[in-house]
Amino acid sequence: MKNFLQFPVVLLAVLGIVSCEETTKEVSERSLIILVKDKSTSISQSKTEQEKETAHLKRYLNQHLSENTDVVVMDINSHSDSRTNTAWFEYKAPKVQESTRVKSKKQQELDQTLYQDKVRKTLKATQKRVIEAIYAESPSSNQTAIVELLNPMSEALKQYDKATICIYSDLIQESQFRDFTKGVWAMPSKSYATDLAQKDFKRLQKLGLHIDLGKVTSIDVVTPNNPQNEKYYVNMPFYWDELFSLGKFNGSVNWQKL
């Protein structure tokens, strides 16, 4: 009888043992933010302009940087398509304590609050590192190779479910592939701009370059406030709209000025 009475006590003791281990929360969908910064010599910024741009970048990251979102920073320069022209910031989910003990609703809410606090700290640290990378010094570049970035972008997108792109540049192409600065008016009409984009897209295909922006949900272009370049923005945006569209981007480019 004594042994029989001891059995429930032993059983309760076994059931009361709690196994705790640190795990990461699994999220099925993976997102990517592609940030592009023009580092060519054609772009010069005052302290005020850089402060405005940094403020825009922070707002952009606050809006788009979330759990399970990675960031890649690419520069626009003479070697935009170089494999070394990327700085990656992969999202590392905070560790969580998994327990077999049944928790009350209040405890579950507290755990969730603590986890979200860890997430916010992780994202804030990532944002700081990204901004440092955007404004890191780079070698002087006399070319503005933008079209050449489409292939590296497409390659980066392959392992993700969706992505957003934000480009800080005047988007005036000036490289051996294509130079918008030749002639007084680089884009005399909308039809000229779209025809040129179609011609350049075929050139990229003939070079064996894979262009697929189908997973991109939005493209933002933030241009410096330079009155001398206003002539380019009459028809040049049609070139980029057409080129991105041929690359399977299904949306409208959001053009902004600082």
DSSP state of 21: E
Q: What is the pTM of this model?
A: 0.84
Domain boundaries defined on the chain: 31-93+126-257
At residue 14, the pLDDT reads 40
Closest CA to 170 of 61, 39, 33: 39
Q: Name the band, by pLDDT with cuts 50, 70 and 90, for residue 12.
A: very low
Instruction: Indicate the burial class of 19 (C-beta count within 10 angstroms; 0-12, 13-18, 19 or more).
Output: exposed
- Compute the distance between CA of residue 76 and CA of residue 6 in angstroms, rounded to an integer: 75
Does 152 have pLDDT greater than 70? yes
Is 3.40.50 the CATH number for 31-93+126-257?
yes
In the chain, the percentage of residues whose pLDDT exceeds 90 is 59
SS3 of residue 36 by DSSP: strand
